[in-house]
Chain A
Amino acid sequence: MSVQLEVQLIAVVVAVACALPGVFLVLRGMAMMSDAISHTVLLGIVLAFFLVGDLDSPLLIVGAALMGVLTVTLVELLNQTQLVKQDAAIGLVFPALFSVAVILISRFARGVHLDVDAVLLGELAFAPFDRVQFWGLDVPIALAVMGGILVLNGLFIGLFYKELKLATFDPALAAALGFSPVLLHYGLMTLVSVTAVGAFDAVGSVLVVALMITPPATAYLLTNRLSHMLGLSAVIGAGSALAGYWLARLLDANIAGSMATMTGAIFLVTFLLAPERGIVAILRRRQRQRWEFAQAALTIHLLHHEDSPQADEECRVDHLGEHLRWQRPFADEVVRLARRHGLVTQDNGRLYLTDKGRQTVQDAIVR
């Protein structure tokens, strides 16, 4: 396999592995927790490195995962004191742990391949040069690690899909039925930590957040089903990875940065143009509702006054402005629409309700 293909494959695997747990982070309103975890795992890596003295040891991932869980625990403990709110608790815990890691690296680990730039940004282009023999196959370490993490994430979410769904939607019922929401919560956070560490080398800790949060946030605008949201997030993540890779080649820029940019671009387009929840769709719906409401108001007005002595006066087109406080052009447009929809007929400037118009009034009042 060529280096280019390998880089793209790693990018796709990283993106999908991040997107899957990201779906639950987004639905639980915990997006910023991923930001915290992706930074504090660095301390876990550093401490584990001091302990084993080997940068390639799998124990580094264990240390990172423990630190991720510790981060979540500390944030929740702080939050429970009710002296700090959750966002502030995240803002307190993660810089504290991260800065300790930065100091430790700069003081004791200089010269080791653990520099802060690589941690923040990562460099996907170099990933294929660190290789490992795996079942007789010669593969990049990043691909083997992230492939393993992808399988782990897929297994966890596949096995505990219904439990995660219930604990996310209705934690109280989950607890009452005996599915410990706390256990699931920490399981998920462990997964997020492990994923963050794995994705670290490839894309760096800042962009892990983009890959975890943006594809699920995009998918959320496009579907009404959790299973589809998982699938779509994976597809959007993979698409952003490939598009980002080619954008980076085109611009001769950092691949991870381009990938994150693509997730943002896809989100922006979806945010604007999503069929039901996009901004454009919402504005058009509001506009339509405004005209529909005005027509309903017109029919109700006509019904109220059609039998009154002043009916001929009240129901004249040129008096609508006076009675309903509508500007003349607006009133004319409403009358035009109402006539086109067969709700009213006009005779010599006097408006009459049709049967369909009466039905509209009924519907509007009942609603």
Chain B
Amino acid sequence: MTDYEKYRQICREARGTGILLVLLILFWLAAGFGAYAVWGPAPVAFGLPVWAIGGTIGVWLFAIIGVWVLLHTTFRDMSLDESGEDASAKGGEHDD
């Protein structure tokens, strides 16, 4: 991967992370305030109302699944050192 390709890939990953954030906020709204508006405070499981489950554990699970999907669809492994031709041009001075 060239340095340019790495930069493009990093931008894609950052955009993907931002999209996950937006989706998480929407889920948080729907699972919490949305669920409360529809089902109210009546307990449905473990003595808890729908919004208290969806808006807490639900958001957490959504985030975990979202990160897993993000890592498997958008993120790619890459060398953190500079690409070969650039590194040799600059003398390849690195810590690692």
A and B co-occur in one complex: no
* A residues whose Cβ falls under 8 Å from a Cβ of B: none
* B residues whose Cβ falls under 8 Å from a Cβ of A: none
